[in-house]
Amino acid sequence: MTTASVSRALDFGKAAIHRNLTSARLIEMAIGRGEGVLAANGALNVDTGDRTGRSPKDKFLEDTPAVHDSIDWGKVNQPIAPDTFAALEDLAVEHLARKSELFRFDGYAGADPEYRLKVSVITEEAWHCLFAKTLFINLPPDELGSFEPDWMVINACNLRLTDYARYGLNSPVAILQSLQQRKVVILGTRYAGEIKKSIFFAMNYDLPAIGVFPMHCSANVDQADASNVALFFGLSGTGKTTLSADENRPLIGDDEHGWSDRGVFNIEGGCYAKCIRLSRTGEPQIWDAIRFGSVLENVVLDPVTRQPDYDSDEKTENTRVTYPVSYIPGAVIPSVGAHPRNVIFLAADAFGVLPPVSRLSREQAMYYFINGYTSKLAGTEAGVTEPQPSFSPCFGGPFLPRPPMVYAQWLAKRIEQHDTDVWLLNTGWTGGPYGVGQRFKLAFTRAFVTGILDGSLRDVKYETHPIFSLHMPQAAPNVPSEVLSPRNTWTDKAAYDVKAKQLATLFRENDAKYDIASDVRAAGPKV
């Protein structure tokens, strides 16, 4: 990375700081400290308490003159004054200084050495350090002595503020980020996803300034053709991890990437997969990756056998597992690839009206990217208990410090430069909305992906959706033709038309928020 690291004089008192311990030692210490137990498959199983998903309403960004004009301020990027940030950071450091031992991870975010960030994570619990070790790129031992971080995460997960209102906070939980100081302070939540997403947020700010398009997507590549790289965009629960885990296509990464003039690279060194209703037959690579060295979050275990019950949502729908990308057989290491041949947008449509697969024009690609439609699925955020229609710009709105059009313009530039095909894949409902219809079968979705990636869907005949103007194939390998046009799957065709127009209206209300070119706006649905 071209940015200079920032020195930090943090006093953690007499706490012994365990730095870059092995996974085995961290697991041993986590169990000994009562932070988790070993599941029968060897994974460390932990409970994150009442916060089992991200806490977006409790995320704040330090507002300074140096960054103010480049930030898309609003519900996602809530400002916090520098003096308040400093006061809360002091509380976090004082809390950690009272501990007898702390844990530190040093490593990288970014598999391409030209664009990587050096990251340090300080935690009060051993399993959070293990989480960082599985999710980021590990530091070679010979680089430890000279390591100076570009970014630091200070995780005081057990400090909950009873007087939070005096600081302008919304709850005893706070995730604070400073782009100028290049640090993150986490208070009061044990949900580890806040660690990884704060660094992704940092990359989303830093990378565009040095000519890289940061993306909330997974990536894989054909094992026989290194030029056949594919990207999968989508919010949590839409299938990024599942669909990119393919035994015939080595994994580059499952969640966060950069697209530079050199190609794509994984920002992380691991995978963070949902495991609700996980099965060996449905997702064999993920199933086999859950072993010693991986971390299960909020999964119910049998009290006697300690076998995970992946079907249980007793604690949350958002049960998770994290593991190093190397646990996926044949994964690309280092995690870099060529320029993508195909880009796939994933949307879990709770209205049940979008086609299961559509090929997009350049203008449609920009339109559906900037709108980022999906449905928030249960458990991915605090308070979300059933699917809710949602528009998240660039399929990653919660992680974008800059205005969404910055990222949309990068997409347009890259797909034009490399003649990349773009597709919209509905992994949501068919035959009716949520509660009436059914979720698309994973086998059908995988068949669509195969047809996209092997080129068999490129030259079939297409028809145009009358409301969304999407180009729908009239035939697809290994998929019944009757499911390709969503209206055909509804018993009540008039009800489908009403629901489709409702969703189209929501698109138009959402796209009015953005200053986009007339041809891009015209590529949206008819109302």
Residues assigned a catalytic role: 54, 197, 216, 236, 240-241, 255, 320
- Among the listed residues 357, 375, 345, 377, the one whose alpha carbon sits nearest the alpha carbon of residue 503: 375
Q: How many residues appear in the chain?
A: 527
Q: What are phi and psi of 61, to 5 degrees?
A: -120, 130
Q: Count each helix (H run) and each strand (E run) in the chain, helices first.
A: 11, 31
CA pair distance 505, 496, nearest whole angstrom: 14
CA pair distance 123, 153, nearest whole angstrom: 8
Which contacts qualify for 165-168: CB closer than 8 Å, 24 or more apart? 167/84, 167/87, 167/88, 168/80, 168/84
Q: Where are the beta strands (DSSP E) in 290-366?
A: 295-297, 300-301, 308-309, 320-324, 336-337, 342-347, 357-360
The CB density around residue 80, as the number of other CB atoms within 10 Å, is 20
Cα→Cα distances 72→105, 169, 198, 225, Å? 31, 20, 16, 40
Contact in structure between 179 and 61 (CB atoms under 8 Å): yes
Here the tokens at position 96 are 């950690």
What is the secondary structure of 188-249 as a DSSP string?
Answer: S---THHHHHHHHHHHHHHGGGGT-EEEEEEEEEETTEEEEEEEEE--TTSSHHHHH-BTTB
Here the tokens at position 408 are 């949309």
**What is the C-alpha R_g of the chain?**
22
- Reply yes or no: is the peptide bond before residue 308 cis, omega within 30 of 0: no
CA pair distance 393, 373, nearest whole angstrom: 8
